[in-house]
Structure 1
Amino acid sequence: MTLRYIRPGQVCVEHLLEVPLDHDDPDGPLIELFAREVVAQQNADNRDLPWLLFLQGGPGSAADRPSSSSAWLHQALRNYRVLLLDQRGTGRSTPLNRQSLAGRTDAEAAAYLRHFRADAIVQDAELIRRQLLGDRPWSLLGQSFGGFCAMTYLSSAPQGLAEVMIAGGLPSLTAHPDQVYRAAYPRALAHTERFYTRYPGDRKVVRQVVDHLADNDIRLPSGERLSTERFQMSGLTFGMASGFDNLHHLLELAFISAPGGPVLSDTFLRGVDRMVSMAGQPLYALLHESIYCQGTASSWSASRVRAEFDEFDLWHRAEVNFTAEMFYPWLFDQDPALRPLRGCADLLAAHDDWPRLYDPDRLAGNTVPVAAVVYFDDLYVDFAQSMVTAGQVRGLRPWVTNEHVHDGLSARPAVFDRLRAMVRGEV
């Protein structure tokens, strides 16, 4: 089914199609995929215009919308017909959350969710490509986790790709989740220190907030208690260009005078809720560790590895260090959006038969042009691991920069322009 409409300067076509839940069982259950085709109005009738598939970060995030302010989309529409794919389980592609999974047992939900990783996303993309383009390959732009998907695409279906551009998303091809998190915790510490260096007065305010939360039953607007460890997760936003500023401006308004003394303001609590709630993207927490699993269980890796870093202990040091892209078993008890999925999450963490996502031999013989921007100070994707991967993919051209952070693709038009020039050998 398709639906066509016109926005200012853009022609959009919405595509809905059914694909197998399990691509190895094409006669089994089906799920629905949603993808939005966007083309500049002046190019709408140009059927020879190259196609560009965009895969968003996450896991668990829907594709950008055509009305977004993403810098890359405006630039891409000059030369491409863009397909914004909601990866399975996100946006309008059979969205998954506590509501849609209600009625399934924990075992049924976990078995279902095992079909929502990069390997299935790539197979979805190939079905869509053949439906829309036939045998013609398309270009691919992968942001963050979308870059992980791009590596899986190059490993399993390179014939579908004309060129690949990756922004902040070169994964290790072999690392166990424990190795990923052992590298991630020091990055969280470094970003916390950068935050306090920019806003030194916030060291004291953050400690005051943590102490207040420990001594009082503080409720978020959604009704659940804001625990000290959940507030510590506010560092999840530190990897974005505005992350430090957003938290600082909330901390400026943290306390307000009340008849019984200072209390945490509604403004502050509303802002923290937006930072730490998984209601908008539960798959981010459910599947995050599994995206690193290949033939092994994660066994709640982030939680186990955290015990190796006593810097995150809230009570044996004066300074509070923020965590980042780590999700813990207790979060599934505290966040109402995740609470019904705790048993499912435990089963996913224990699953040890995840298929391989990358083919190092095929990548070593790659013939598809690939360019990747690697952010030197990336909070979410380890620089050293990315650079190892860059050297393992034949013909991949890396661009290392500290001028941009993880959301550089959305924030700066120059990022997409340079990637496109690199992948075409123009720079």
Structure 2
Amino acid sequence: MTLLDILPSLRTAMRPRIDTSIWPLTTHVDELGRLCVGSVVLTDVADEFGTPAYVLDEADFRSRAVHYRTTLRGVEVVYAAQSLLTRTVAGWVHDAGLGMAVCSTAELATALAGGIEPGRIVVHGSGKSADELATAAAAGVGRIVVDSPIEIAYLAGVTRHPQAVLLQVLPGVEVLPLVSRALATPQLPLAGLYCHLGSQIAEPEVYVEAVRGLVDTMADVRAAHGVLLTELNIGGGHAIAYQAGDAQLDVAALADFLEDALDAACAANRFPRPRLVVEPGRAISGRAGVTLHRVQSVVTRTDGRLVVAVDGSHPKSATTPNYTVALANRHPLGPTSLATVVCRGGGALGSDIELPTDTHPGDLLATACTGAYHHSTDSNFTMTTRPPVVAVCDRQVRPLIRRETMADLLLRDCG
């Protein structure tokens, strides 16, 4: 029997542990205080698969993918694979009716294995080699983004069939010379323009300005070469909230802004409306992911703050905000304290995380918003085996990526 069983009124007096704007859509707390996602108790996942472990809320991912497709009407939505990709995730993307953007041969292979039609794949990324371009062209991908004369030359030399391309617009780089180079290569029909505006963009106005400028550029191409470009890919970079109060991009507002901006820019240039493409990645996968860590040690500083060490590394970059972390295995009864949660190798989940003062070794911590740029970049800070990726949905648990073993690690070490 717990204190909550003796005094049930405490349930309504306690501050909610889960902010619905941060955690996966299906997250809830059961009567024992354990966090659950997809109706699966996270302590059960930790017991079965060990820690650290990545947990994906399948319903959350699918819901956000469909939301993008239905909200951005008249816009082609292409999922940015670099945020999170497995064969199963590719299947979810396919089921939602989205295309996929890849930036490596490994991502391309995984997308194809997961059922994405080649014609719905966009290949981009800087510094593509001739071999990578040949692989993409041989697969019959819908678009390849080229950003330099050498990539145009490479692709022209390796493709055996017409391959539609997009030209990447880079700051300070003239587009018209690249257009001339592409148009001189008939086996590379030029479909349109591509740009990447950055990461964690919360203001729709940023995309509005980009659309205006890019339509102006398309009109310049028509005037200079008599060629009508029909596709405009404005990339992704859509912001999500890592903590309560963080700014995030409103997809419905983005839809309205893009519609108005595209109409105005095309009218001003007397230019036919191009097909608009967006590439959300983090905005679809980020909130679906939760990372589980087991507490290894706790130290109380002289100022009362806790230093909580957990197992495993964490691929947190210097530009990523503090994460939201919660106790996952029990109710946090009693006083709390600000804590710094540190991983092996010096990476930290955050320095102002509120945890119970009785946090102790063996407790399970869950970190929200870790569905993007974690599985693919794990072990950034120290050499560790990569954690498993586990999907949960409707009380079902499905491993997507098994935990890397020491044998796996040493197999690639040629001595």
TM-score range, shorter chain: under 0.3
TM-score w.r.t. the length of structure 1 is 0.23
More strand by share: 2
Higher radius of gyration, 1 or 2? 2
More helix by share: 1
